[in-house]
């Protein structure tokens, strides 16, 4: 199957305040963000033409940039409007939305305080995957070689491009072994997250998830925690050690792309997707479509 390159597609991208034809949205090879990782981004989803928690994503987008010591030159409201415009202009009611900001090319060294901050927003078709029967089979996870870094060594609360380098390596290694993704431990060897999604476990009717202090506290993660609590489930955010994995019944991951996806296996550990996973898949599906929910 041939892939359609992301630099050669039809459509429109919002860049530095203008809507451009997709192929005209370009940067120079001496862009600071490319060489030094001075870039932040968001991953969002539009359902039925409406971006889920758009404002919350825009706020985090700006906060991520501040943690990398630069300011996005657009307000939250301006970013929200630009994202909605891109989805509308591309005619994609069910889409993945990608805002990205980076330092430009004025200076090419570690220090780049005079560099212009650029912002772009793209969207592409990404149908929702709420097919319960398929999801309930669960995915298989490897255990990653690399660990999430000590928050004293990296801006872990930022959705910074550079923090995903070890995620790409880990996911590639997992896929080569036939797994869908990999579970990452933190710098102290505790369960942390997957390469692009947060992780949850169940035992005795309660939901357990690692404390998000050295990895991103995902917006989907927070949404699912809220949904579980609405159902009266106990949600326990705590340190989870690898040897506990054998004691859990269900496992699922959450993220903009993953939504709520059950897990059947993590390395040698097995899980059986069950009622809690199914309930939260259904509740999340309803939550991201408020109009359908009210109909």
Question: Does residue 188 contact residue 93 with C-beta atoms inside 8 Å?
Answer: no
167 membership: H or E segment, kind and range: helix 165-176
Closest CA relative to residue 223, chosen from 201, 255, 261: 255
Dist CA 169 CA 161 (whole Å): 14
- Helix 275-287 to helix 219-230 angle (10° resolution) is 110
**Residue 295 tokens, joined:** 């109909």
Dist CA 70 CA 246 (whole Å): 44
Closest CA relative to residue 120, chosen from 138, 104, 144, 139: 104
In three-state secondary structure terms, 151 is coil
For residue 32, is it left (φ>0), alpha (ψ between -120 and 50) or beta? alpha
Question: Does residue 270 contact residue 140 with C-beta atoms inside 8 Å?
Answer: no
270 catalytic per annotation: no
Q: Which of 53, 83, 135, 159 is catalytic?
A: 159
**Residue 222 tokens, joined:** 């927070």
Closest CA relative to residue 70, chosen from 162, 160, 166, 196: 160
In three-state secondary structure terms, 43 is coil
Question: Does residue 35 contact residue 103 with C-beta atoms inside 8 Å?
Answer: no
Catalytic positions are: 159
């Amino acid at each position: 199957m041939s892939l359609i390159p992301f630099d050669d597609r039809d459509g429109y991208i919002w860049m530095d305040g203008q809507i451009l034809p997709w192929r005209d949205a370009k940067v120079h090879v001496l862009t600071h963000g490319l060489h030094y990782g001075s870039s932040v981004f968001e991953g969002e989803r539009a359902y039925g033409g409406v971006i889920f928690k758009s404002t919350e994503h825009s706020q985090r987008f700006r906060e991520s940039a501040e943690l990398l010591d630069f300011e996005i030159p657009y307000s939250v409201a301006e970013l929200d409007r630009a994202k909605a415009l891109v989805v509308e202009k591309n005619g994609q009611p069910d889409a993945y939305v990608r805002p990205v900001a980076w330092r430009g090319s004025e200076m090419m060294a570690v220090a780049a305080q005079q560099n212009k901050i650029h912002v772009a927003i793209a969207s592409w078709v990404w149908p929702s995957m709420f097919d319960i029967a398929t999801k309930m089979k669960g995915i298989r996870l490897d255990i990653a070689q690399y660990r999430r870094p000590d928050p004293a060594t990296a801006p872990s609360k930022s959705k910074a491009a550079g923090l995903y380098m070890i995620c790409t390596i880990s996911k590639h290694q997992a896929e080569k072994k036939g797994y869908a993704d990999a579970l990452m431990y933190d710098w102290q060897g505790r369960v942390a997250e997957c390469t692009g999604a947060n992780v949850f476990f169940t035992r005795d009717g309660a939901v357990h998830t690692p404390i998000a202090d050295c990895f991103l506290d995902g917006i989907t993660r927070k949404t699912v925690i809220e949904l579980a609590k609405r159902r009266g489930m106990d949600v326990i955010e705590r340190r989870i050690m690898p040897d506990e994995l054998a004691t859990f019944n269900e496992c699922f991951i959450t993220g903009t792309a993953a939504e709520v996806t059950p897990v059947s296996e993590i390395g040698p550990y097995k899980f059986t997707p069950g009622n809690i996973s199914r309930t939260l898949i259904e509740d999340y599906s309803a939550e991201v479509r408020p109009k359908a929910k009210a109909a």
